[in-house]
Structure 1
Amino acid sequence: MRKWKRVETADGARYRSALAAHEAALLESLVNSLMDMLVDRETSSPTDELEELTGMRTGHSQPPEDDTMLRLLPDFFRPQHDHPAGSRTAESLNSALRSLHEPEIIEAKRHAGQRVLDTLPAGGGKFEIAEDDAHCWASCVNDIRLALGTMLEIGADGPDHLPPEHPMAGHLDVYQWLTVLQEYLVLGLMGKR
């Protein structure tokens, strides 16, 4: 992974970088896995009669049971203290907000993932993307990092290192590589070297 270089063109800012063949293949696999998780969540939402009448899409009203998917689709409202009306108020609010907004959030995540797949250099190599695509890359890589970080149980205290014999040791290396990829891209978007 090379740093991202911002280049000003007549059509606006463009971002250049390069990926080794194995990096491009790994990123493609990770994005496809993320997309599969999102499609599974989207297609498992219950049918809503109101949606059929109005055309307004609705999604799940309950949060995902899987910790990884819950990290990608967290609750909308987290009370800072106990609500005087009880915890059911927060649950009801989250249920309504999730049902209304989860489909468009999933759609945005899927769009970002598809833009990465569409702009990823097949077999690795140098490539250049538009600013909108760079934002999609940043969003998608962030989602992959969130998912992988949840699986690795990464918190404020690490882990920074796993023994080589640990079954998730390779996954931590991938997480760290994604962190660097994201950092370089964000710095490029900010116009910093």
Structure 2
Amino acid sequence: MKPWKRKGDLVHADIDRQEAAVLRGLVSQIDDMLRARIEETPQDELAELTGIRTGPSTSPDDPILSRLLPDFHRLDDDNPSKADLDSAAVLRSLHEPTLLDLKTGVAAVVLETCPMYGGGIRLSLEQADAWLSALNDVRLALGTAIEVTEDMPDELPDDDPRSPHLSVYHWLTWVQESMVQALSTP
């Protein structure tokens, strides 16, 4: 992939077939995880009557989903009070459906605008913002899966099973940085 370029209100780049397949595959996996979380939403008769959507009141068990859907209220890890636990549950229940809608929405934009077999990508500024959000979600998920830390070296030994995934993580970082630079240049 060549760096993103901006011309007026459009951002464009070319992506090769393999890069498109990797990006689309990763975004699809994240989208599937998020949609599965939506399906876990309990039935709420009051929500059906009022039109106010609610979601699960507990954090996801999966560490990747937990990273993508963080708590809306930080708890004291050593000694959370019942009021804090109740507050965290209510905030999650009220706000998670909106967050899930946003995350699945940006994934849809990437899947709609990234050519399946590679080629030119032309994005409006709004679509580019969606790409940035989706790229961030993929990087968060992949970083969680391969346990990226600030202390991690840029390259891992060839026998480390995370090595190829770290290369993809670095590529996604570059794609995101390139887009930010293009958007910063009017």
Asked whether the 8 Å contact 2:12–2:123 carries over to 1, the reply is yes
What does 1:17-166 correspond to in 2, within 5 Å? 17-78=13-74, 86-166=80-160
1:160: Cα distance to partner? 2.5
In 1: Cα distance, 2:181 partner to 2:151 partner: 24
In 2: Cα distance, 1:43 partner to 1:168 partner: 31
In 2: Cα distance, 1:91 partner to 1:17 partner: 46
2:172 corresponds in structure 1 to: 178
In 2: Cα distance, 1:169 partner to 1:93 partner: 40
Q: Describe the SS at the equivalent of 2:157.
A: coil
Percentage of pairs with the same residue: 43
Asked whether the 8 Å contact 2:24–2:116 carries over to 1, the reply is no
- Structure 2 spans left out of the alignment, 5+ residues: none
1:161: Cα distance to partner? 2.0
Q: Which amino acid in structure 2 is aligned with residue 70 of structure 1?
A: S
Alpha-carbon RMSD: 1.7
Q: Describe the SS at the equivalent of 1:129.
A: strand
How many residues of Structure 1 are paired with residues of Structure 2 in the alignment?
186
- Residue 6, structure 1, aligned to residue 6, structure 2: yes
- The partner residue of 1:15 within 7, 11, 16 is 11
TM-score, reference length from structure 2: 0.94
Q: Which amino acid in structure 1 is aligned with residue 28 of structure 2?
A: N
TM-score, reference length from structure 1: 0.91
In 2: Cα distance, 1:95 partner to 1:183 partner: 35
- Structure 1 spans left out of the alignment, 5+ residues: none
In 2: Cα distance, 1:155 partner to 1:96 partner: 31
In 2: Cα distance, 1:177 partner to 1:81 partner: 35
Question: Which deviations, in whole Å up to 9, do the C-alpha atoms of 1:130-156 show, x marking residues without a partner?
Answer: 000000000000000000000111122
Q: Which amino acid in structure 1 is aligned with residue 4 of structure 2?
A: W
1:168: Cα distance to partner? 1.8
Change beyond 3 A, Cα 1:32–1:103: same
In 2: Cα distance, 1:138 partner to 1:154 partner: 20
In 2: Cα distance, 1:182 partner to 1:91 partner: 36
